[in-house]
């Protein structure tokens, strides 16, 4: 599957929205959720996901907890209070950007 440029540009928003909807998740669970919710039309690679998660933790938008599952340590991510606020802002900004792109791709929609 070829990398989707929309995913790359909106990865932070996608992560925040997943966590808003699911409470807490671990990395693989996020990649699986994106594939499943888009019927495999969109995917997030671990190479893109984990640096984004680490940045969100550094920025104070996510918190982590670790648990032992089947003999392995699994790191879960969840929104902080600041992360919850930022999620709504990022979702709104992405919606507006997508609406603008839609107007460019379908100029007839903006003419009336």
Lowest mean pLDDT segment, chosen from 39-43, 49-53, 99-103: 99-103
pTM above 0.75, yes or no: yes
Q: What percent of the chain is predicted at pLDDT more than 90? A: 62
Cα angle 34, 38, 42; round to 5:
65
What is the SS3 assignment for 103?
A: helix
Going from the C-alpha of 45 to that of each of 2, 48, 89, the distances in angstroms are 11, 5, 24
Going from the C-alpha of 51 to that of each of 59, 64, 77, 78, 104, the distances in angstroms are 12, 14, 13, 16, 32
* Chain mean pLDDT for the chain: 88
Which listed CATH number (2.40.50.140, 1.10.10.10, 3.30.450.40, 3.50.30.10) goes with 5-110?
A: 1.10.10.10
The pLDDT value given to residue 106: 83
Domain boundaries, the chain: 5-110
Q: What gap in Å lies between CA 36 and CA 41, rounded to an integer?
A: 9
- Tell me the β-bridge partners of 68: 73
**Bigger pLDDT: 107 or 14?**
14
The pLDDT value given to residue 6: 58
């Amino acid at each position: 599957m070829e990398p989707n440029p929309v995913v790359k540009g909106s990865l932070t928003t996608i992560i925040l929205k997943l966590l808003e909807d699911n409470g807490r998740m671990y990395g693989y669970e996020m990649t699986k959720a994106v594939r499943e919710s888009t019927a495999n039309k969109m995917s997030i690679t671990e190479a893109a996901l984990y640096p984004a998660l680490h940045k969100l933790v550094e920025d104070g938008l996510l918190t982590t907890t670790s648990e032992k599952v089947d003999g392995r340590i699994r790191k879960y991510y969840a929104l902080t209070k600041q992360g919850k606020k930022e999620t709504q802002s990022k979702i709104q900004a992405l919606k507006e950007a997508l609406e603008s792109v839609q107007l460019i791709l379908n100029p007839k929609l903006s003419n009336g």
